[in-house]
Amino acid sequence: MSSAPGPDGSGRERDRDEEGRARNQRPRDGLGRPLPYGTDGVPRQPEGVVRAPEESVAEAQALLDAGRPFHAHEVFEDAWKSGPETERGLWKGLAQLAVGLTHSARGNTTGGARLLLRGAGAVSEWSEQTGQDRPYGIGVAELGTWAETLAGRLEREETAVDAASHAPRLRGGAG
């Protein structure tokens, strides 16, 4: 990781990756919120990893179960960027579901509910267009029900949820 002066004139060096792109290396908590430099955070999800679809689903599920939906979103984002164009809508919708759960756990109930519904809509639309209702074992209909139920709760109660206990089951039903 190399550094270059920050754009804010503070004299703080910008974090950069090996290719010179700006890449924030601040430690993060389990929900992806930045922590102060020098603080212990959770291990970051590596970006740009190419996985088989089944591996992406399994890794994302493990992260969701651990209460780390922000990190599961990173896995889904890798899948949409590295997978076939025909599957982009599936992976992007799954990433939106994970981000919706992230916002819901952070206390942004309005944004969380919107992202959950948007992600469910994207996955459902992809399923209808392709005729695949269980791609890689993912229960599209069950995810839609999970997202709608959680979004309704967020809209009614307006309180943050625990990410791990509200995580969906990607294969075989809701959380």
pLDDT at 59 > cutoff 70: yes
pLDDT at 6 > cutoff 60: no
pLDDT at 175: 52
Q: Tell me the average pLDDT of the chain.
A: 88
pLDDT at 7: 43
**CATH code at 53-157:** 1.10.3450
Measured between alpha carbons, how far is 18 from 128 in angstroms, rounded to an integer?
Answer: 41
pTM of the model: 0.84
Encoded amino acid at 52, one letter: A
Q: What is the mean pLDDT of residues 75-79?
A: 97
pLDDT at 61: 98
Q: What is the phi/psi pair of residue 46, to 5°?
A: -65, 145
Please answer whether residues 173 and 145 qualify as being in contact, where contact means their C-beta atoms are separated by less than 8 angstroms.
no
DSSP 72-127: HHHHHHHHHHHS-GGGHHHHHHHHHHHHHHHHHHHT-HHHHHHHHHHHHHHHHHHH
pLDDT at 3: 44
pLDDT at 71: 95
- The percent of residues above 90 in pLDDT, for the chain, comes to 72
Please answer whether residues 82 and 50 qualify as being in contact, where contact means their C-beta atoms are separated by less than 8 angstroms.
yes
Encoded amino acid at 67, one letter: G
Q: How does pLDDT run across 107-159, given as a tens digit for each residue?
A: 999 999 999 999 999 999 999 999 999 999 999 999 999 999 999 999 999 99
User: Where are the domains positioned within the chain?
Assistant: 1-44, 53-157
Q: What is the mean pLDDT of residues 52-80?
A: 97
Instruction: Give Cβ neighbours of residue 29 (< 8 Å, ≥ 6 apart).
Output: 35, 41, 42
